[in-house]
Structure formats: structure tokens, C-alpha cells
Chain A
Amino acid sequence: MSAFSSSARRQFLNRFAGAVGGAALLSLGVGLYARQAFALPAQALRPPGALAERDFLATCVRCGLCVRGCPYDTLKLAELGQTVATGTPYFDARKIPCEMCEDIPCVKACPTGALDRQLTDIGKSRMGLAVLVDHESCLNFLGLRCDVCYRVCPVIDKAISLENIHNPRSDRHAMLLPTVHSEYCTGCGKCEKSCVLPEAAIKVYPLKLAKGRLPEHYRKGWEEKAKHGGSLIGEQIELPVRGREDKALQQKAPLDSGWKP
């Protein structure tokens, strides 16, 4: 072979290797960057019906049609520089919460299925879960009757209830503690939006952050008992507690602080 053809071949191979290598390097970089960007910040909530985050990022084309479908300006597309994956829809409950439209226009608008059209009942959406994060500053925990988060909840008395508890500080009042029930909370964020404190004591977090999980094998005795219609292990002997023999089997006396109005 002539010197020319070998140098031409070398040049061709160089260019070829450059093109393939450069492209592979770029793809690798982009892939790694994308992996890193999978983490969703706690304050960013996905629209109703959003697939689990990994699947969402495989399906959402970032077109913003859900944003256009939202009548309340709740949804935004993340801009580059924000911590949410750029261009994907999210909302910040403290700014504008989800109004839980019955016809769910954002889900209808999604062309790809990143928002799942199997969600037809907005009450079944799980955008996140409200968590009363700050027991130290929540006014109800301080013994006041704020109740705002409870009052604004679209699923009042189911998603948030007020649990009546004795106030040990004054020892003569009740505390009505806002308590969230994950079975009903949709994560719409109206509670977080309307918390009267300068920084909300109740916040909506993505389910992954907000929920714990019992181990698979765990059974609740009282539930099993109710299901079975009686004790599963038969009658048990009530043993006295050592040192408290006189109190063990006594009826509890009603609470009386001695306070009279």
C-alpha cells in the first residue's frame, strides 16, 4: 500500500476515534449528571398522578401542558439552576397549593403518561404527605386553639383530625393536636399554605421522606384479635406487678386536678 493511503487511513481512523470517543464521553457525562439530578428536593411536590420519581423522569418530556392545564397557577416548570430536574413540573405548597380539581385537568393534559390517567378520583392522589414537623412552635401544641390546618383541609376529619390530649403544663386544659392520617391525606398542601406561623409548622413532604414502614412480618395484636373475633392465644392469667400488687387490678380513678372554676 502507498504511503498516502496509509496516512489517509490513519487520519480517517483518528477522526473516527475522535468522534466516537467524544460522543461516548459526552453521553457518559450527561448520563452521570442525569443520575445525580434524580434527587428531588423535599419542598418540591409533583402534580397529582405523577409516576414514582424514577419512572416520572423516564416519561415526562417537560412540555408544560400540565402547567397550562392547571387553572390555579399551582404548577411550575423547574428552571435551570433550581434543584428540581430542569423543565419538570412541580409545585411549592407554601406558595400555591393544589386545589384538588375534581376533573384533574393537569393529568388529562399530559401527553405521555408521566401523570397517570388511571387517577380519576383526586381524593386518591398522593402528591405527598403532610407532616406536623415542629411540635415546639405549632400553636395547638402550645395549648392554643389555632386549628387552621385542620379547618382548611379539603379532607377534614379524615386527613387531619384534632386529637384531644391532656395539657400537662397547665394540668387543667386540653391540647387539640392536629394529626395527619396517611390513609386520606392527598398532599395538596393547603395546610402548609395556611399555617399562620412565619415558617409553617406543618409541611408536605414527598411520601418517600414522610413515611416510615413497618417490617413485613409485623402484626398488630389488637387488629388480629378483632379480625379473629377474640384472642388468638386464649385466656391469659393476669399476673400482679411486683411492688404494685394493690394497684394492678384496680379501676383507674377519674383524673381530678382539684381545679374549680
Chain B
Amino acid sequence: METMNSGSKTHVLPVGGSPAPTVDVAQRFRAKWLLLRRLSQLGILGLFLIGPWFGIWIVKGNLSSSLTLDVLPLTDPLLVLQSMAAGHLPYRDAIVGAAIVVGAYLLIGGRVFCSWVCPLNIVTDGAAALRRKLGIKGGRAPAATTRYWLLLGLLAACFATGSIVWEFVNPVSMLHRGLIFGIGTAWLVVFGIFTYDFLIASRGWCGHLCPMGALYGLLGRTALLRVAAAKRSACNDCLDCFAICPEPQVIRPALKGSGTPLIIDANCTNCGRCIDVCTLDVFCFTNRLSNRFSS
């Protein structure tokens, strides 16, 4: 990851030399996956909210642990891990709930949570978009590996204090829980994350610090659902995908390498923005077993 980071900074690619798009390319809707993602994020949030707002109880609880239609338990695996590190084995409900979540993300990619479910993603995407729009460059981001050490560190802190420590500060669950149960001053934490991503570190929270994302990343290493640079030979080095990608280091091996065109880095969130923005339709969703792309 280190070498990829420094590589993407020093590697010189021609910029601004993209050829005029053909007519049918220009007519394609350029935010299909973004729109679907927002629908998914807001839809999931909506399922949680129609209970308390309108008395339609499909899902109870929040992303930390929930019960759907009174039968399906879902639990955040990081919380179960923390509870066990703190010295408590949760009831079977929570364990089963976490197992279902882990199973699902092993299949479709752990960080699918980040781009398709997490409510904070809308905030950090907003910060990144504003950053792009205003042309803010630079800033100081911690190493992208910090999140794994933080994951390790907070589990150690759980063990040392005998309590689920991350939930005292976790902005992801704070925002989601707050929207459903009352937010208090957690708005300030969300605003803090926005400001951090906007002014201090590009993609700083989701891409470098969030230990939830780190755990989901570790889960997604073997996932089937993948983005592939299927038509990478058509790439004209316009850099649009690199500019829009929340984890730009994941693209290079697939797009510019000589190995598989599948993006196999576990930190790809399967957000599909590269598919959206590429005027030459280089990228597509596929599964990792597909042998359509022999290379």
C-alpha cells in the first residue's frame, strides 16, 4: 500500500489529452451507480426511520444491532469483537447477527458496507466533492495503514478497560443512532469529520482512519463481487477514475498492471464511481470467478 501511494504521486500520466467522446458515450447517464448507492444508503436509513416516524416497524434498532421483521438479527461484527475483547460473550442473537453480516460481506465485498450502507459516507463524499469543486489540494493525511493499527489499538483498549470503547466516539454509529433515536451534540462530531476530510486530509476518515472500514476491508479480501478494468486497453489516461475514487490506490494494478484486470484490493468499496465517470466504459462490475478477461 505504501508503494502504491507514493507511486500514484510520482507517476506521470498525460492529463487533458482525452479525445472527444463519441456521441453515444456522451449520452450515457454518468451517475447511475452513485444514484443507486444514495438510494441504497437512504433507503436503508429510511427503513430504520419509518418505524419511529410512522409506526411501520420493518426494522428495529440501528446499524449496531437490528431486528428485521422480528426474525432477522443483524449485528455489527466490530461490536461483537469489542465485547469479546472486553471479556463478554454476547448472547446467541448478537453472534448470529454478526455471522450473517460477516457472511454477506465475505460474498459481496466487505467495504460494500462503506459505500452502500454507511450514512457517514454521504458526508465524506460531500467533503470530497466540495474539495474537488474548489480545487483544494494537499493537506496532511495519515498513512492509510493507520486504520488497521487503530483497529488493533482499540481492541487492546477494550481489553484493558473492559468496555466497548469505540462506541464512545464512533462517528458512524453516532450519526446513524442519532438520526433514529436523537442526535444531541453528535452533529458536531459529524461536522468535525466533514471539516477534517474537506480541509485537512483528503478522504482522511474513510480512507485512512475508520476502524470499521478497516475491519470490513479485511473481511472483503476474498469477496466475489468485483469491479474490473475490463477494457483497459481503451484507457486514454484521462485520470478521471483516479480523481473520483475514494481509494485511488486500488485502481492502478488492475488498470495499468499486466496481471488480472480485476480490482482485487480489499479496500475497493465497490462504489462503482469509476464505472460512472469513465467516458470509455473501461470498468464494469463482475465476479472474481469470471474468466471473461484472460490476460
Query: In the bound complex, what is the Cα–Cα distance between A110 and B94 (angstroms)?
Result: 9
- What is the interface residue range for chain B against chain A? 35 or more
Neighbouring A residues of B163 by C-beta, 8 Å: 34-35, 38, 54, 57-58
Q: What distance in Å separates the Cβ of B289 from its nearest Cβ neighbour in chain A?
A: 34
- Top 5 A-B pairs ranked by shortest CB distance? A79-B184, A27-B153, A23-B149, A63-B65, A31-B157
Say if the beta carbon of B83 comes within 8 Å of chain A. yes
> Cβ of B185 and Cβ of A81 under 8 Å apart?
yes
Say if the beta carbon of B2 comes within 8 Å of chain A. yes
Of B6, B143, B161, B177, the contact of A16 (CB 8 Å cutoff): B143
B153-167: contact bitstring with A at CB < 8 Å (1 yes, 0 no)?
110111011111111
Query: In the bound complex, what is the Cα–Cα distance between A117 and B80 (angstroms)?
Result: 18
- Name the interface residues of A21-60: CB closer than 8 Å to any CB of B: 22-24, 26-28, 30-31, 33-35, 37-38, 54-55, 57-60
Q: What distance in Å separates the Cβ of A49 from its nearest Cβ neighbour in chain B?
A: 12
Instruction: Decide yes or no: A12 and B2 within 8 Å by CB, A27-B153, A31-B157, A80-B174 being known contacts.
Output: yes
Query: In the bound complex, what is the Cα–Cα distance between A211 and B112 (angstroms)?
Result: 50
User: Which residue of B has the minimal Cβ distance to A14?
Assistant: B143
Say if the beta carbon of B123 comes within 8 Å of chain A. no
Neighbouring B residues of A231 by C-beta, 8 Å: none
> Cβ of A23 and Cβ of B173 under 8 Å apart?
no
B173-187: contact bitstring with A at CB < 8 Å (1 yes, 0 no)?
110011011111110
Query: In the bound complex, what is the Cα–Cα distance between A113 and B167 (angstroms)?
Result: 17
Instruction: Decide yes or no: A68 and B65 within 8 Å by CB, A111-B75, A111-B93, A111-B94 being known contacts.
Output: no
Query: In the bound complex, what is the Cα–Cα distance between A54 and B83 (angstroms)?
Result: 12
> Cβ of A79 and Cβ of B183 under 8 Å apart?
yes
Query: In the bound complex, what is the Cα–Cα distance between A75 and B185 (angstroms)?
Result: 20
> Cβ of B153 and Cβ of A111 under 8 Å apart?
no
Q: What distance in Å separates the Cβ of B152 from its nearest Cβ neighbour in chain A?
A: 7
Residues of B in contact with A (beta carbons under 8 Å apart) = 2, 6, 51, 57, 60-62, 64-67, 73, 75-76, 79-80, 83, 86-88, 90-91, 93-94, 97, 142-143, 145-150, 152-154, 156-158, 160-169, 173-174, 177-178, 180-186, 188-189, 209
- Name the interface residues of A103-136: CB closer than 8 Å to any CB of B: 109-113, 117
Of A61, A64, A68, the contact of B167 (CB 8 Å cutoff): A61
User: Which residue of B has the minimal Cβ distance to A68?
Assistant: B60
Selected A-B contacts with CB under 8 Å, 12 pairs: A18-B143, A19-B142, A23-B148, A28-B153, A34-B161, A57-B163, A59-B88, A61-B164, A63-B64, A64-B181, A81-B186, A111-B97
Neighbouring B residues of A63 by C-beta, 8 Å: 61-62, 64-66, 75
> Cβ of A68 and Cβ of B142 under 8 Å apart?
no
User: Which residue of A has the minimal Cβ distance to B6?
Assistant: A11
Neighbouring A residues of B181 by C-beta, 8 Å: 64, 67, 76-77, 79, 87
Of A23, A68, A81, A85, the contact of B153 (CB 8 Å cutoff): A23
Of A30, A68, A113, the contact of B168 (CB 8 Å cutoff): A30
Neighbouring A residues of B65 by C-beta, 8 Å: 61, 63, 65, 111-112
> Cβ of B169 and Cβ of A30 under 8 Å apart?
yes
Neighbouring B residues of A31 by C-beta, 8 Å: 154, 157, 160-161, 165
Query: In the bound complex, what is the Cα–Cα distance between A26 and B153 (angstroms)?
Result: 8
Query: In the bound complex, what is the Cα–Cα distance between A248 and B82 (angstroms)?
Result: 68
> Cβ of B168 and Cβ of A86 under 8 Å apart?
yes
> Cβ of A117 and Cβ of B157 under 8 Å apart?
no
> Cβ of B186 and Cβ of A80 under 8 Å apart?
yes
Query: In the bound complex, what is the Cα–Cα distance between A187 and B95 (angstroms)?
Result: 31
> Cβ of A76 and Cβ of B76 under 8 Å apart?
no
Say if the beta carbon of A82 comes within 8 Å of chain B. yes
Most B C-beta atoms less than 10 A away, residue of A11, A19, A27, A111: A111
User: Which residue of A has the minimal Cβ distance to B154?
Assistant: A27
> Cβ of A62 and Cβ of B162 under 8 Å apart?
no
User: Which residue of A has the minimal Cβ distance to B146?
Assistant: A19
Query: In the bound complex, what is the Cα–Cα distance between A78 and B174 (angstroms)?
Result: 11
Say if the beta carbon of A145 comes within 8 Å of chain B. no
Instruction: Decide yes or no: A80 and B183 within 8 Å by CB, A87-B174, A111-B67 being known contacts.
Output: yes
Say if the beta carbon of A155 comes within 8 Å of chain B. no
Most B C-beta atoms less than 10 A away, residue of A16, A20, A27, A113: A27
> Cβ of A62 and Cβ of B87 under 8 Å apart?
no
Q: What distance in Å separates the Cβ of A37 from its nearest Cβ neighbour in chain B?
A: 6
Instruction: Decide yes or no: A18 and B64 within 8 Å by CB, A30-B166, A80-B189, A113-B90 being known contacts.
Output: no
Neighbouring B residues of A10 by C-beta, 8 Å: none
